[in-house]
Structure 1
Amino acid sequence: MKRIIAGLVLASAAVPAAASEAVDMRFACPAATSMPTQPPELAGLWDALLDVGGTPSFGLLSVGMTGSELGGSLALTPGVVVVRSLTSDGRTVAMVVASREGDVRFDGSLTPDGKRMCGIVTYHGGQKFAMIAQKRPDRTSARSEPTGATQR
């Protein structure tokens, strides 16, 4: 029993030290060199990663149409914020999210296929952090025809 307790104490003591080490995250996002023929479909679910001084903050960006404009929510480790606006010209992306202290801005680039965005998050105090978001595949396009269906 003492060995088990000693092992748990050692394991728990090692985890915080390893978890507090800064991680070198590389956010590669080759930008489109020409304007796309049609605007990318940004609505959908995106997996997001924010590098807060070497500490990763994982989350989910949900984008949809609100009237004629894009909007949604961003849920990161600290909490959920409202996406006030999200615009793109096909090569760049600009997003503004609400926070208690004021608006937070993301300025980034899109990959040519429109499925990844990389850029910089600028907080109201001027702090800047790298962020990347990868679009999840659309579930409706991944569905197959029902089995047993035949045409006559």
Structure 2
Amino acid sequence: MKILILCTGNSCRSQMAHGFLQSFDAALDVHSAGTKASGKLNPKAVEVMKDAGIDISHHTSDSVDKYLNDEWDYVITVCGGAKETCPMFSGKVKHQLHIGFDDPSDAEGTPEFIQSEFIRVRDQIKEAFYNFYLQIKKENEQ
């Protein structure tokens, strides 16, 4: 099953979702991309994922253009910006979903607060994508 996770910068939320989905099932073909890819991962995202036992430091921040000609079982946007600017995959996507999350990169305040925002969003992503994974697994067993 091929899954593409889209965000605006492809540096944080989409990378976390990518890491979690692959950790749930190594047989899934998971990729992530950005509508305006930043070209790098957010170090805080890498850190909080490592704390959760998942290494995403080897991921790359890619433009969605790289994947437009591919066929996908699911294309999932995780931020409002990507949802609004998501390019049309014109029939090459079986299911297009939006599972949105706050951007912890926007958090302001003490280092402790910023860290807590990354952890909060990471945990929300883990729960939402685990539920998504269970749902698609159940549907494929029918």
Using the size of structure 1 for normalisation, the TM-score is 0.26
- Which one has a bigger Cα radius of gyration? 1
Bigger proportion of residues as helix:
2
Relative CO higher for 1 or 2, CA cutoff 8 Å, sep ≥ 6?
A: 2
